[in-house]
Amino acid sequence: MNIPAFRAAMMRPTPASASHVAAGESGALDEYRPTGPVATPAELPRFAPQEAIEAIAARLEKTWQARLSGQERCTVGIIVERGWKPEGQHDEVLNIADAVMDAGGMPRLLYIGAGEPNAQMRGLHALAVPGGRDIDPSSYGATMGPGMDPNEPDKAFDNFEMACIGQAYQAGLPLIGHCRGFQIMNVTGGGTMTQDIPTEFKTREGFGSSYGTRVDHRPEETRHDYEKRVDPVQLVVVEEGARLAGLVGLLESVNSIHHQCLAAISPLLVPVAFALDGLVEGVERKGMPWQSGYQFHPEALRYTDGRYQGLYQNLVEDGVRFKNGELFVLASQVQVPEGTPETSFARDAAAQRDWLVRQSEQRFGATADQLMQTRVGQAHFESLAEEWRLAHPR
pLDDT tens for 114-130 read 999 989 999 999 999 99
Dist CA 388 CA 352 (whole Å): 7
Q: Are residues 52 and 180 in the same domain?
A: yes
Check whether 336 has a pLDDT greater than 60: no
Q: Is residue 217 part of a domain?
A: yes
Q: Are residues 62 and 171 in the same domain?
A: yes
Q: Is residue 209 part of a domain?
A: yes
CA distances from 42 to 47, 63, 97, 230 (A): 15, 11, 10, 15
Mean pLDDT over residues 365-379, rounded? 68
Q: Are residues 181 and 299 in the same domain?
A: yes
Q: Check residues 335 and 163 and name the one with the higher pLDDT.
A: 163
- Band of pLDDT at residue 37, cut at 50, 70 and 90: low
What's the confidence (pLDDT) of residue 236? 87
What's the confidence (pLDDT) of residue 325? 80
Q: Are residues 243 and 190 in the same domain?
A: yes
How high is the mean pLDDT of the chain?
Answer: 80
Check whether 67 has a pLDDT greater than 90: yes
Q: Are residues 264 and 357 in the same domain?
A: no
Q: Are residues 282 and 375 in the same domain?
A: no
Range of the domain at 33: 3-326
The continuous run of DSSP H or E covering 129 comes out as: strand 126-129
What's the confidence (pLDDT) of residue 3? 43
Check whether 374 has a pLDDT greater than 60: yes
Query: pLDDT tens for residues 249-297?
Result: 888 888 787 889 999 999 999 999 998 888 999 999 988 999 999 999 9
CA atoms within 13 A on the CB side of 207: 21
Q: Are residues 374 and 259 in the same domain?
A: no
Q: How many domains does the chain have?
A: 2
Q: Is residue 302 part of a domain?
A: yes
What's the confidence (pLDDT) of residue 258? 81
Query: pLDDT tens for residues 306-329?
Result: 899 999 999 999 999 998 888 765
Q: Is residue 331 part of a domain?
A: no
Q: Tell me the percentage of the chain whose pLDDT exceeds 70.
A: 72
Q: Are residues 185 and 258 in the same domain?
A: yes
Q: Is residue 333 part of a domain?
A: no
Q: Are residues 305 and 354 in the same domain?
A: no
What's the confidence (pLDDT) of residue 195? 92
The continuous run of DSSP H or E covering 317 comes out as: helix 309-323
Check whether 182 has a pLDDT greater than 70: yes
Q: Are residues 293 and 191 in the same domain?
A: yes
User: Which residues, including other chains, have CB under 8 Å from residue 11's CB and lie 6 or more apart?
Assistant: none
Q: Is residue 335 part of a domain?
A: no
Q: Are residues 245 and 360 in the same domain?
A: no
Q: Check residues 170 and 87 and name the one with the higher pLDDT.
A: 170
Dist CA 230 CA 91 (whole Å): 12
Q: Is residue 138 part of a domain?
A: yes
Q: Check residues 14 and 88 and name the one with the higher pLDDT.
A: 88
CATH code, domain with 272: 3.40.50.880
Query: Of 300, 326, 352, which marks where a domain is finished?
Result: 326
**What is the pTM for the complete model shown?**
0.80
What's the confidence (pLDDT) of residue 346? 60
Q: Check residues 305 and 109 and name the one with the higher pLDDT.
A: 109
What's the confidence (pLDDT) of residue 205? 66
What's the confidence (pLDDT) of residue 29? 37
Q: Are residues 157 and 291 in the same domain?
A: yes
Give yes or no for a contact between 345 and 122, defined as CB atoms under 8 angstroms apart. Answer: yes
Give yes or no for a contact between 230 and 223, defined as CB atoms under 8 angstroms apart. Answer: no
- Band of pLDDT at residue 28, cut at 50, 70 and 90: very low
DSSP category for residue 279: -
Q: Is residue 336 part of a domain?
A: no
Specify the amino acid at residue 375: R
What's the confidence (pLDDT) of residue 45? 76
Three-state SS for 78?
strand
* Choice among 187-201, 220-234, 358-372 with the minimum mean pLDDT: 220-234
